[in-house]
Amino acid sequence: DTGVSQDPRHKITKRGQNVTFRCDPISEHNRLYWYRQTLGQGPEFLTYFQNEAQLEKSRLLSDRFSAERPKGSFSTLEIQRTEQGDSAMYLCASSFKGPPVNEQFFGPGTRLTVL
């Protein structure tokens, strides 16, 4: 257990529905990251926050995806009008920005299945 928690662990939804995932980072970490991982592949970067500011978004993050971190603590990732291609593991990671490195600690992930 890295100290990063995600909820839910599994989500099954029908195509076209909206889903929201939550990530609670390690409390003293000021950076929070979202990645997506499909079967047999490495995680792909989606977006990250420093405190409450969203600093970077991948081109993978289409208009149907939105992420927030309103108080600089937990974060939510929402997918609207889900598609079957959204089926994947959604991973959250957190780190503390500072030298020498920013080791990212990953949560267990939320596995999304879109039927």
Partner 1 sequence: GESVGLHLPTLSVQEGDNSIINCAYSNSASDYFIWYKQESGKGPQFIIDIRSNMDKRQGQRVTVLLNKTVKHLSLQIAATQPGDSAVYFCAENMNTDKLIFGTGTRLQVFP
In the set 22, 24, 30, 45, which binds partner 1 (CB under 8 A)? 45
Q: Is 47 exposed, middle or buried (0-12, 13-18, 19+ CB in 10 A)?
A: buried
Q: Running DSSP on this structure, what letter comes out for residue 73? A: S
In the set 15, 60, 97, 113, which binds partner 1 (CB under 8 A)? 97
**Is position 74 an interface residue for partner 1 (rule: CB under 8 A)?**
no
- Beta carbons of 104 and 2 less than 8 angstroms apart: no
Piece in contact with partner 1 (CB under 8 A), picked from 12-20, 34-42, 67-75, 77-85: 34-42
**Is position 104 an interface residue for partner 1 (rule: CB under 8 A)?**
yes
**Is position 105 an interface residue for partner 1 (rule: CB under 8 A)?**
yes
Q: Which residue, 19 or 91, has its beta carbon nearer to partner 1?
A: 91
Rounded CA-CA distance 111/71 in Å is 25
| Half-sphere exposure in the Cβ direction for 115 (13 Å, CA) | 4
In the set 41, 51, 62, 113, which binds partner 1 (CB under 8 A)? 41
**Is position 112 an interface residue for partner 1 (rule: CB under 8 A)?**
no
Piece in contact with partner 1 (CB under 8 A), picked from 13-21, 43-51, 64-72, 79-87: 43-51
DSSP string, 76-102: EEEESS--GGG-EEEEEEEE---SS--
